[in-house]
Structure 1
Amino acid sequence: MTAAPAHLTAHEVTAGYGRQVVLDRVSLRIARGETVGLRGPSGGGKSTLVRVLALLHRPIHGQVSIDGTPVTGTRYAVPVAVRTRIAVLFQSPRAAADPRLSLTDLIAEPLRATRHPEHEVRQRVAELAELVGLTSDLLTRRPHAVSDGQLQRACLARGLIHRPDYLLCDEATAMLDASTQAHVAAVITDYQQTHRAGVLLITHDPALMTRWADRVADLAPTDNSAQQR
């Protein structure tokens, strides 16, 4: 009996905003357990492809599939069991974080939104806070009272809270100092190895791309096709 394919795939995706087409017939596959690097010029559609793969942006044409099953809809139109299999870590933690929430509540929000018992939420937040290196005094603070690196650690914990099968990192370490960058990368790598997660890596740091990615896809500036190698 043949095992079902285990990958997150964009099939011939065309996407944009209004009349502006940003991606034109792009295909990309991320298998469980591998790290795929994505390169391309600024404004070339890398972040749009991340949003399409994360089921946050509806393509004009084409589709996203998970483990061979096409996914229809975006955001809350997608069943919880499907959409929580994908997580995103964005470049700017301040743009991604609700400034009204403490770091505890920021991390816990996805579990509370899916109606998990509060004792399970508290336990999971504590586990992840330790994993990413957030102390108890930091967890009570709001985003304005912590550094970018501390906030990105909280966003990483939030991203891992549902134990996703695929993690999409959109310049996630670009705003971090070297030590925090190394810590975030180590946490993601350990999580990937433990859970056989697929990782998409977007970075302008060629050294990081070389060290981390198993293979690299180039988003060509002329026709926005992802050429994998």
Structure 2
Amino acid sequence: MLELDAITAGYEPRKPVIAGISLSVRPGESVGLLGPSGCGKSTLARVAALLHRPDAGRVVIDGTEATGWRHRAPRSQRTAFGVVFQQPRLSADPRLTLSALIAEPLRATGRAAEAADGAREFAARVGLGEDLLGRRPHEVSDGQLQRACVARALILRPRWLVCDEMTAMLDASTTAALVRVVEDYRADSGAGLLAVGHDRVLLERWCDRTVHWSEPAA
């Protein structure tokens, strides 16, 4: 289980964005976190994925409390998460080809020998043709780049997925395709999902349950 227990977090001392928030996701469960911009849901998602250290509270992953964040987190906990952000151009290195972008987690974890085959496999899963894999981010559309970012998030076969406004910048057909990719992966792997968004219809159709959150921290 992924457990967020009484999380308080922010970006300035004594100015929390969220305060005392608790949330849990069971293995295989999809939980939507619904709320308007500025309510702190993306901050909570970053804490859940070990990308932002909370000021107070605990993150417990499969029964083990997190003790580090970002590169200081144990590898076994870092690689338990696949994360997809709202704006692919801010989360993709513009110097990398799509193939290298997708395979980036394999190289970062000492599995470079698997990079080429892994990139092709997961590119195919998200609907990217091999003709696109040699292109760089500025040479593809937002939808194509977000497909590559989803492939990157899945390539280490994580137990937990965090999708932070994953489809906010996409058209309806690409949104449907990427939601199906995530759901197919979850069906195959039993991974749990925390999906953050402001589209009530999408989250309530996508997720097993939706948490409605409207108030930022005081």
Q: TM-score range by the shorter chain?
A: over 0.9
Q: Deviations over 1:130-168 (max 9, x none)?
A: 101111111000000000000000000000011001111
Aligned with 2:174: secondary structure? helix
Any stretches of 5+ residues in structure 2 without a counterpart? none
Aligned to 1:179: 173
Letter aligned with residue 93 of structure 2: D
Helix, strand or coil for the counterpart of 2:118? Answer: helix
1:74 and 1:222 map into 2 onto residues whose CA distance is 23
Task: Give the distance between the partners of 1:117 and 1:36, measured in 2 at CA.
Answer: 33
Q: 1:101 to 1:117 in 2, by over 3 A?
A: closer
**Equivalent position of 1:227 in the other structure:** none
Match of 1:28 in 2: 23
1:164/1:23 CA distance change after superposition, 3 Å: same
* Structure 1 partner of 2:37: 42
Structure 2 residue aligned with 1:99 = 94
1:85 is aligned to 80
Q: CA deviation at 1:220?
A: 4.2
| C-alpha contact (below 8 Å) 2:9/2:55 kept by paired residues | yes
**How many positions carry a matched residue from both structures?**
217
Matches within 5 A, 1:89-128: 89-118=84-113, 120-128=114-122
Residue 218 of structure 1 corresponds to: 212
Partner of residue 74, structure 1: 69
Q: Give the corresponding residue for 1:170.
A: 164
| 1:54 equivalent among 44, 49, 53 | 49
Deviation at 1:208, TM superposition (A): 0.9
Q: Is the 8 A contact 2:17 2:216 kept in 1?
A: no
Letter of the aligned partner of 1:8 in structure 2?
L
**Structure 2 Cα separation of the partners of residues 202 and 56 of structure 1:** 15
* RMSD, aligned CA: 1.2
What is the DSSP-based 3-state SS (H/G/I as helix, E as strand, rest coil) of the residue aligned with 1:174? coil
- Segments of 5+ residues of structure 1 without an aligned counterpart are 1-6, 225-229
The structural deviation recorded for 1:76 is 1.3
Q: 1:203 aligns with which of 166, 190, 197?
A: 197
Cα distance in structure 2, aligned partners of 1:149 and 1:138: 12
- Report SS of the residue matched to 1:207: helix
Moved over 4 A (4+): none
Which residue number in structure 2 is paired with residue 3 of structure 1? Answer: none
Alignment CA distance shift 1:178-1:223 (3 Å)? same
Distance across 2 between alignment mates of 1:217 and 1:210: 10
Distance 1:8 1:29 in 2: 6
What SS is found at the alignment partner of 2:36?
Answer: coil
Distance 1:162 1:53 in 2: 18
